[in-house]
Structures are given as structure tokens and as C-alpha cells.
Amino acid sequence: MKLTERFRLSRFVAGEKAIDTPVTLNHRRIFILPTLRGLGFVLLIALLLLIAFVYNNNLTYMLAFLLASVFFVTILHSYKALAGLVVQKGRSKAVFAGEAAGFDIHINNPTDLQRQQLQVTQQDSQRLVIQAQGAAHITLYSITQKRGWHTAGTVTLSSTYPLGLFRAWSPIRFGLKALVYPKPALIEIPFPQISLAGAQQGFNQKRGDDFQGLQAYQSGDSIKHIHWKAFAKGLGVFSKQYAGEQSIEEIRLDYDQAPGHSIEERLSQLCRWVVDAEQAGITYSFALPGLKLPPDNGLAHYQKCLEALALF
């Protein structure tokens, strides 16, 4: 490591360059600074020294020195609170924009020391205790804003153990990223009118109005179909099911046909259609400028479409 690299201030906050391999926390990765309480403790020591000085009292000197020494020794203990832990990245699931993306982090404690009150922070923080020779698996959530790749940013492990006078922290950057699909449009617009070969000409794309029953709400269900009365009664969210829905067998979802003022709006609408179609069990083909997917349905196809939307 170059000297300039070593003294880069951002290492304190952002950590080293992002890596994918497990990270063992050592002196290069752990930073320690006094907390506000630690500064209060220093003030206490100063006050004791003043008392000892004014009254020329050796035992008060001794107490002040003991506390100063405790303060000093605590630095080593703070280091020990983190040192030796092995942090490994785990999986992350794709989400729709606006939802929280979860990143899995595995923390391994290969030492004989119990780790108290570890705090793992990303956007929110979690506290945990890891037993000697133990391991912990946690998922950190961060709210996504835009479609595309959402990087996890810096994961910070910190601890104020044992006395709360020092905070030892270790910022780690993994190449953790989660795919973020566009946010499905809220406004329900019927599927595009033109169906592929096999569909009848002039087939009414409007949903049937033969009410069949209620079904628990799933994301992508039209809000118009939500049974508001049941919701108002506090029974939960239900969607009304209509018989006509089964009648559509194959549709074509094309970027060019998606309404919207901007690219994002169009993608958002397409996303909505993909979700709806997948849920309704309709076979759909998918087209974006520069990408064409043949008609299909099922999870693999669904994910391929959404991925394409996310990364468009």
C-alpha cells in the first residue's frame, strides 16, 4: 500500500476499495476514536488531577492515573472488540424501485472471544452479539430510488465495547449490488390491443365483468379491483376477480406501445404490464429498442424482462 493511499482520509469513513473476498478485520481496517462520553471521561480525569493537585493528595492522584490508564487500556480492548472478525458478503435480491433492497452479510467469529454489542450500519443499523467461534448472518436494508444497479455502499461494523469510551469502527465496501426494477406504474392501463397470431381479431381487451370472487391482493393487482369495502372494514386487502381475465392468452408488450411522457414513465408502464401479465398467467412477448424476447411466461422469462427494463 502506498503511503499516500494509507493516509487517505476517506479510508476512515468509506473504507478500502470495494472487494468481493471475505475481509478479516485487522489494524488496517479498524479505526478507533473516543466517543463524546470518552471525552467526558477525559474531563473527569482532568478534574480529579486538579483536586489532587490542589489538595496535594496522592491517593486522588492515584485514582486519576488509574482512570487515565483504564482509558488508555480500553483502546486495546476496543480494537479487540472487532479484530479478527471475518466479514463476507452474501446475496442480494432484486427489488422494485422504492422498495428496500436487502443485502446479506455474513460475519464469522473464528476467535475464542465473544463479541458484544456489534453494530452493523448501512442505512439503518442493527445490533448483534456473536458468540466465540460463532457466526451471524444479517440482512441490511436500504431504500432504493431508481431502477438499475443499486450498490450497497459502505457497511460499517462498529462497537463501543467495553466501556463506551471509544468507538472502534471498520468501514467495508463490498461489490454488493442489487438489481432494481422500475417501479410498476400505479395507473392501470389495459394491455395493448394488438395481440399476436392466434388471438382473435377485434377481441375485446377489456376485462370481463363476470365477478367470480375475491382473492388476496398481490402486487400488480389493479387498484380498481381492490375490494375497498372489505379494506375499510379492516379485513385486509382483497382483489376482485373477474372471469373475463382468463380470456386473454397471449399479448405483446412493446416499448413503442407503452404510453408515457418520458422513458421512465414508459418503462414503468411496461413493468406494470409484465407484472400483471405474469400474475394473470398470460403468455407475453417483450420488446425494447434493441431487444426482443419471444412470447413466453414463467419466472425466468419474467426476470429476463424485468432485468432488461432495469438496465435499459
Partner 1 sequence: MKPELDKNILIFLLSSVGLIVLPHIYHIPAAVFGFFGLLFSWRFIGIWKQKWLPNKPVIFIAVVCGIALLYNQHQGLFGRDAGTQLFIIALGLKLMEIKTERDLYLITYFAFIVAASQFLYEQSILMTAYILLICCVLLATLVYINSGKAQTLSAIKTAVIITVQALPIALALFILFPRIDAPKWMLLNDPHQARAGLSDSMEPGSISDLGGSDELVFRVKFASAIPPPRLRYWRGPVLTYTDGKRWTQIAFQKPMRSPVVTGRAYQYKLLMEPQDKNWIFALDMPVEIPSPLTISSAYQLSAVDRSDNRTEYDLISYTDYNTGPINLGEYKTATQLPSEPSDKIKQLVAQLHGFDSAPDNFINRLLNHFRVEDFHYTLTPPLIEENPIENFLFKTRYGFCSHYASAFVYLMRVAHIPARVVTGYQGGELNKAGDFLEIRQADAHAWAEVWLNDKGWVRVDPTAAIAPERIEQSSSIDWHTTYGIAAANVPAYNWLKQARQLWGKVDYNWQRWVINYDNKSQANFLSSFGINDLKTLTYWMIAVIASITAVLCWFLLYHKSKSADKVLSSYNRFCKKLVKHGLIRNAGEGAKDYAERVKTKLPAQTADIDQITAVFIKLRFGRIVTGEDLQSLKRLVDLFRA
- Please tell me whether residue 44 binds partner 1 under the rule CB under 8 A: yes
Give the residue, chosen from 98, 99, 104, 117, that forms a contact with partner 1 under the rule CB under 8 A.
117
Give the residue, chosen from 11, 18, 34, 63, that forms a contact with partner 1 under the rule CB under 8 A.
63
CB atoms within 10 A of CB 68: 17
Fill in the per-residue mask, 121 to 160: x = in contact with partner 1 (CB under 8 A), - = not in contact. Answer: ----x-xxx---x-x------------------------x
Nearest-approach distance from CB 59 to partner 1, in angstroms: 4
Q: Is 269 helix (H, G, I), strand (E, B) or coil?
A: helix
Query: Is the distance from CB of 104 to CB of 141 less than 8 angstroms?
Result: no
- In the numeric block, which cell numbers belong to residue 83? 479484530
- Please tell me whether residue 161 binds partner 1 under the rule CB under 8 A: yes
Which of the ranges 59-67, 204-212, 227-235, 277-285 carries the binding residues for partner 1, by CB under 8 A? 59-67
Fill in the per-residue mask, 195 to 234: x = in contact with partner 1 (CB under 8 A), - = not in contact. Answer: ----------------------------------------
Element (H, E) at 152: none
Which are the contacts of 232, defined by CB distance < 8 A and separation ≥ 6? none
Which are the contacts of 50, defined by CB distance < 8 A and separation ≥ 6? none
Using only C-alpha atoms, what is the Rg of the chain?
A: 29
- Please tell me whether residue 47 binds partner 1 under the rule CB under 8 A: yes
Give the residue, chosen from 11, 37, 177, 304, that forms a contact with partner 1 under the rule CB under 8 A.
37
d(CA 189, CA 287): 18
Give the residue, chosen from 11, 18, 34, 77, that forms a contact with partner 1 under the rule CB under 8 A.
77
Which of the ranges 108-116, 179-187, 236-244, 291-299 carries the binding residues for partner 1, by CB under 8 A? 108-116
d(CA 202, CA 172): 59
β-pairing, 238-242 vs 250-254, is: unpaired
- Please tell me whether residue 84 binds partner 1 under the rule CB under 8 A: yes
End-to-end CA distance of the chain: 38
d(CA 304, CA 283): 14
d(CA 74, CA 106): 27
- Please tell me whether residue 68 binds partner 1 under the rule CB under 8 A: yes
Which of 124/210 has CB closer to partner 1? 124
Footprint (CB under 8 A) of partner 1, residues 223-282: none
Which of 57/139 has CB closer to partner 1? 57
Give the residue, chosen from 163, 230, 287, 291, that forms a contact with partner 1 under the rule CB under 8 A.
163
Give the residue, chosen from 5, 8, 22, 93, that forms a contact with partner 1 under the rule CB under 8 A.
22
Report how far Cα 87 is from the mean position of its chain's Cα atoms.
Answer: 17
What number of chain residues touch partner 1 (CB under 8 A)?
Answer: 59
Nearest-approach distance from CB 69 to partner 1, in angstroms: 4
Q: Is 2 helix (H, G, I), strand (E, B) or coil?
A: coil
The order of strands in the sheet holding 95-96 is 95-96, 177-181, 148-151
- Please tell me whether residue 111 binds partner 1 under the rule CB under 8 A: yes
Give the residue, chosen from 4, 58, 200, 262, that forms a contact with partner 1 under the rule CB under 8 A.
58
The order of strands in the sheet holding 100-108 is 23-24, 86-92, 100-108, 135-143
Binding site for partner 1 (CB under 8 A): 21-22, 37, 40-41, 44, 47-48, 51-70, 72-74, 76-77, 79-80, 83-84, 86, 88, 108, 110-113, 116-118, 125, 127-129, 133, 135, 160-165
